[in-house]
Amino acid sequence: MKVRADYRQALVYRYGKEFEDLADDIEKWRDASQKLRPANLLGKILVESGLYDYYQHEEPKRLENLKRLVKIFQEQDNLELHPDTALRSIIEYTALAKNLDQISQDNNQVLIITIHQSKGLEFDTVFLAGISEDEFPTYFSVRDSNLEEEKRLFYVAMTRAKKRLFISFFMKDSKNYSKSKSQFIASLPSEYLV
C-alpha cells in the first residue's frame, strides 16, 4: 500500500502543475452550482471547458448529444429546489440504472445502454448489436486469454431479455477490416439461432 501511495505522490509531483487550471475550473464550477440552474451550469461548463467549441468544429453530430443533455437538464429541473439540490436530483435521475427504464418510457424512446448499466434490469425485447470477434469479446481479452469476465457480461446481456433477444454482428468494421461473429454466439445452442 505504501508503494502505491508513494507512486501517486510522485505522479502528482511530476504532473500536478498541468492540472492546476482544470482544478481551478472545477472549483469555480462547483461554486457556480450554488447559484446557476442546472442547465445553465452545464452550458457554462461545456463552453468554458472547450467541449462545445471542440464538438462544434470537430464532431458536429455529437454536439447534438450535448444539446440534448442540456435539454434534459432543463426538463428535469425542479425550480422549487435550490440549484445545487436540483442538480443532484437530475444527476441521480439520469445516472441510476434503476431509472433507465423510466426515462425511456417517459419519453417514448428506445433505450440504448451499456451492459453494465443494464444490470438488474429486464426488458421485453433486447437487441445486442456489434457482437463480433475482437469487439465482444474484446481483442485484448482474446489476446490475453482472459475471457471469463467477457463471458459473464455476455450472459448478463442475454438475460436482460424477458421475451425476445436479438443478437447481431458485423462482417466489416468502420475501417473495412473483415470481422467474424463472436465466439460467444457460436457457443449458443443452434435451436435458438435463426
Specify the pTM. 0.49
Q: Across the strands, what pairs with 178?
A: 172
Q: Model confidence at 29, in pLDDT bands (50, 70, 90)? A: very high
pLDDT tens digits, 49-102: 999 999 988 888 888 888 988 998 998 898 988 898 889 888 876 665 455 655
Whether a cis peptide bond, with omega within 30° of 0, leads into 189 is: no
Q: What's residue 102's pLDDT?
A: 59
Q: Across the strands, what pairs with 92?
A: none
Q: How far does Cα 30 stand from its chain's mean position?
A: 23
Give percent of the chain with pLDDT exceeding 90: 28
